[in-house]
Structure 1
Amino acid sequence: MWTEVLISIDEAHAEDLSDALMEAGALSVSVEDENADTEAEVPLYGEPGMEPTTHAWQQSRLVVLVEAETDIEHMLDVAFDALDLPVPAFETRTVEAQDWVRLTQSQFEPIGITDNLWIVPTWHDAQDEAGRINLRLDPGLAFGTGSHPTTRVCLQWLASEMPEKLKGSTVLDYGCGSGILAIAAKKLGAGDVIGTDIDPQAVQSAMDNAVANDTEATFVLPDGMIDGATYDVVVANILSNPLKLLASALVSRVGQGGHLVLSGILERQTDELIEAYAPYMKMALWRADDGWIALVGQKA
């Protein structure tokens, strides 16, 4: 059993106080929006190259996890004194011991991408139906479990195009994360498939997922890419800012007549992404899902 301590704090002190609380004996500290789930809630997120400068809100709430027997008042005295701040009013709540593994697993059910393409966690029994492809994938360190709209629309495009029109095509999954798009492409009938990511953990995760799915796919860091190599299909599910910066580089990886699929783009960013790619390739909206979109283009 543990105790959570809830403290309201302003943006300027949230990060420093989190560090001070950890030094004073807290097991963990998370920073939340004090106005979460209200009309005053403020989004806080960034993109590669455009990270937020402060990981806190104007009015933040610290959720401090401690052992049940912790002298909370003493811990707070030590932490706030280190910053020369008075200890404010705070709340506590009990956290019951749980089977965290089972609780986490219960939050991830099989995901139907199309009628014949499913993402199935390894702890679930996959239904072995004729023509159905089950991608065995567990939540991990790398992005891409199939639950996010950006991943879904990319998978739906692959499922609609790969089995018949693009069977045997070479595929590049740029920013591969968990490797889900590359693995799905291979399962759907692609030829040689490669994925790349700047994160070594993502590359290792993708390799492990390929083995778990009995799939032949190559995953490398960017310096492992073959200079000048082009592909029939290039899929990049990252974020709008890096997609704009990488426009020329991504298009250069698409072979003549090949397809480029982009996602990680909010609907309101559609026109600016199309404009960013206009000098290199004509892109068009393919599908929207819950405020996110996929753009697709074909190299003339």
Structure 2
Amino acid sequence: MPYLELSLPCTDVSQPRLEAALEDLGALAVTLTDAHADAPDEQAIFEPGVGEQPLWGEMRLTALFPEGSDGDLLLAALESFDAGLDLGGAAFRVVEDQDWERAWLDQFHPLSFGRRTHIVPWNQDLPEAARDADAAVVRLDPGLAFGSGTHPTTALCLEWLDGLDLAGREVLDFGCGSGILAVAALKLGAARADAIDNDPQAILATDDNAARNDVADRLRAWLPEDAPQRDYPVVVANILASALDLLAPQLAARTAPGGRIALSGILAGQEDELLARYAAWFDALEVARREDWIRIAGVRRAANAATG
């Protein structure tokens, strides 16, 4: 299936807000390339590793959208997000899915998070650190759904899950993308996981990664309208600040009293408003930061008449 690819010039300063805007517009995947490469068709896909900064001051940021997306509308929407963005160098082309997948597989390498969690591409050997008896190894093929572990928002969530005692617990991964967080939770000892995403491609990717990791019998992926209406002792939502604000009552209702929640996809500077928003339902709210991205975590209070 072909996809619409949008590439834009950016700098290490503008990249975080431009990437956030593209994801808010429904980009299926976002990557970076060197703006000064001599042969664009041979550029390596680059996504900063955990704790790393982009290697280039001037880059091209490339986003993949579903076939049939209106390029003019995408540019107009980007301009409305931030009038200071440089859209003069925007370029569109149609790409086949196998081109994107091959580039990703060529560049991705095993990553570790916290004490036990390891994300390993499905076609690579296990590194030595992932061979320990208590290692939680996730074999990943994200396909065209967001979530490989290399982005700081996903890394923050993986580290949070790694630090919890998940044995026998049920987990909700809200905005699951590739399903990486739900699968990781199961590998870390969770009994069951539900994963929710409004993108059918994410549901397919999550189901595929669950089967690849032998946890398909314990993981169900749902579109929002089909998902069970219930609460969970552990909830993780790696989406965007605007969605976290809008969905706050729903996410609070899905977190069991005494349960824990982690919210990610938040740019630095956006956390204060969300801390105030979620304080209506959650105690012990705390902030963690990686590069320009924030994770908020807290503990759900018992529902009452004032807060729901």
| TM-score between both structures, scaled by the size of structure 2 | 0.68
Partner of 1:32 in structure 2?
A: 8
Q: Distance in 2 between matches of 1:262 and 1:40?
A: 23
Partner of 1:161 in structure 2?
A: 164
Partner of 1:218 in structure 2?
A: 220
Partner of 2:279 in structure 1?
A: 278
Partner of 1:105 in structure 2?
A: 105
Partner of 1:262 in structure 2?
A: 263
SS in 1 for 2:243: helix
Do the aligned partners of 2:16 and 2:292 also contact (CA within 8 Å) in 1? Answer: no
Size of the aligned set, in residue pairs, is 236
Q: Distance in 2 between matches of 1:273 and 1:106?
A: 37
SS in 2 for 1:268: coil
Is 1:204 the counterpart of 2:204? The answer is yes
Is 1:237 the counterpart of 2:238? The answer is yes
Q: Over residues 62-113 of structure 1, what are the superposed CA-to-partner deviations in whole Å (9 max), with x where a residue is unaligned?
A: 55889xxxxxxxxxxxxxxxxxxxxxxxxxxxxxxxx987654231111111
- How far 1:291 moved relative to its partner? 1.6
Do the aligned partners of 1:267 and 1:292 also contact (CA within 8 Å) in 2? Answer: yes
- How far 1:129 moved relative to its partner? 2.8
| TM-score between both structures, scaled by the size of structure 1 | 0.70
Partner of 1:290 in structure 2?
A: 291
Q: Distance in 1 between matches of 2:274 and 2:92?
A: 41
SS in 2 for 1:282: strand
Corresponding residue to 2:140 among 115, 137, 141: 137
Do the aligned partners of 1:49 and 1:242 also contact (CA within 8 Å) in 2? Answer: no
Q: Distance in 1 between matches of 2:296 and 2:182?
A: 18
Q: Distance in 2 between matches of 1:48 and 1:274?
A: 20
AA aligned opposite 2:298: G
Cα 1:282–1:135 change in 2 (3 A) is: same
AA aligned opposite 1:118: H
Deviates more, 1:107-116 or 1:243-252: 107-116
Cα 1:39–1:157 change in 2 (3 A) is: closer
Is 1:53 the counterpart of 2:47? The answer is no
Partner of 1:121 in structure 2?
A: 121
Q: Over residues 102-150 of structure 1, what are the superposed CA-to-partner deviations in whole Å (9 max), with x where a residue is unaligned?
A: 6542311111113421110012101433222221012421111101111
Partner of 1:150 in structure 2?
A: 153
Do the aligned partners of 2:137 and 2:184 also contact (CA within 8 Å) in 1? Answer: no
Q: Distance in 2 between matches of 1:223 and 1:142?
A: 19
Alignment gaps of 5+ in structure 1: 1-27, 67-98
AA aligned opposite 1:219: A
Q: Distance in 1 between matches of 2:190 and 2:227?
A: 19
AA aligned opposite 2:226: G
- How far 1:218 moved relative to its partner? 0.8
Alignment gaps of 5+ in structure 2: 27-73, 80-84, 302-308
Q: Distance in 2 between matches of 1:241 and 1:269?
A: 9
Q: Distance in 2 between matches of 1:190 and 1:42?
A: 33
SS in 1 for 2:262: strand
Q: Over residues 192-226 of structure 1, what are the superposed CA-to-partner deviations in whole Å (9 max), with x where a residue is unaligned?
A: 21111111110111010000000121111112222
Q: Distance in 2 between matches of 1:237 and 1:65?
A: 29
Partner of 2:55 in structure 1?
A: none
Q: Distance in 2 between matches of 1:284 and 1:196?
A: 24
Do the aligned partners of 2:285 and 2:299 also contact (CA within 8 Å) in 1? Answer: no
Q: Distance in 1 between matches of 2:212 and 2:233?
A: 26
SS in 1 for 2:282: coil
AA aligned opposite 2:274: L
Do the aligned partners of 1:29 and 1:62 also contact (CA within 8 Å) in 2? Answer: no
Cα 1:249–1:52 change in 2 (3 A) is: farther
Deviates more, 1:106-115 or 1:175-184: 106-115
Do the aligned partners of 2:122 and 2:139 also contact (CA within 8 Å) in 1? Answer: yes
AA aligned opposite 1:226: P
